[in-house]
Amino acid sequence: MTKIIFYLFALILVFAASRVITVRNPVHAALFLVLAFFSSAAVWLLLHAEFLAIALVLVYVGAVMVLFLFVVMMLDINIARTREGFTRYLPVGSFVGVLILVEMVLVVGAWKTDESATLSTVTAPNTESLGNLLYTVYLYPFEIAAAILLVAMVAAIALTMRTKRQTKAQRPEQQVRVRREDRVRLVNMPAEPRD
């Protein structure tokens, strides 16, 4: 049964991933990427990596891809133009592709899986063991990664931030403090004489 489920999700994953790069409409491509994330989360669940699987859905599907879609929908992309220059970029593209393939083969080939250590010996819940590792053995790398992300965020904000003069910022505390007397003035007018 597990095998059937695995092959089902693996097939969907491969199909979705290949559609990401073949489909014409960028919005559809982003949605196929969402489908690919979902199916890989399902495959991870089969490996009893429930925390990672749900975190993948939460972070990538729930946040990153929403922002991606947000941007892609705003762009008015000319679909015909994106097909141009396919042959011109083919050598560069295939070179990068082959390079990535070689790297992956080297990494995966050198990585010997210890069959006994994968499923049967793991007793503690995935979340707990991950947390224990992250906050004891890998504490420094974890904190350094967080600091790098913070630096990247500050840099991005600093690059796009406009100076005070260009923005028309509102001051909510002033808006809230407004009283009736500031805005409304009662004027006493003599009644107009009747004709």
Partner 1 sequence: MLDTLYELFELGKILFFILLITVPLLVSVAYLTYAERKVIGYIQVRMGPNRVGPKGLLQPIADAVKLMFKEIIIPTSSDRFLFIIAPVLAIAPALAAWAVVPFSDGVVLADINVGLIYILAMTSIGVYGIILAGWASNSKYAFLGAMRSAAQVVAYEIAMGFTLVGVLMSAGSLNLSEIVLAQQGSLLHWYWLPLFPLFIVYFISAVAETNRAPFDVAEGESEIVAGFHVEYSGMLFAVFFLAEYANMILVSALAALMFLGGWLSPFQGTFLEPLFAFIPGMVWFVLKTGFFLFLFLWFRATFPRYRYDQIMRLGWKVFIPVTLVWIILVGIAVMADIPPWFA
Among positions 85, 91, 109, 172, the unique one binding partner 1 when judged by CB under 8 A? 172
DSSP-assigned letters across all residues of 166-182? T-----HHHHHH--HHH
Selected binder of partner 1 within 47, 58, 101, 152 (CB under 8 A): 58
> Looking at 62-70, 80-88, 91-99, 101-109, which segment touches partner 1 (CB under 8 A)?
62-70
Interactions with partner 1, residue window 14-53 (CB under 8 A): 25, 27-28, 31, 34, 50-51
Element containing residue 67 per DSSP (H, E): helix 65-74
Q: Residues 6 or more apart from 79 whose CB is under 8 A from it?
A: 24, 25
Min. distance of Cβ 174 from partner 1 in angstroms? 13
Sequence-separated (6 or more) residues with CB below 8 Å from residue 86 = none
Q: Give yes or no for residue 127 binding partner 1 (CB under 8 A).
A: yes
Single out the residue of 12, 17, 35, 61 in contact with partner 1 (rule: CB under 8 A). 61
32, HSE (Cβ side, Cα atoms, 13 Å): 18
Of 10, 36, 3, 41, nearest to 22 by C-alpha is: 36
User: Closest separation between CB of residue 2 and partner 1, Å?
Assistant: 10
Q: Is residue 67 near partner 1 by the rule CB under 8 A?
A: yes
Q: How far is the CB of 85 from partner 1 (least distance, A)?
A: 26
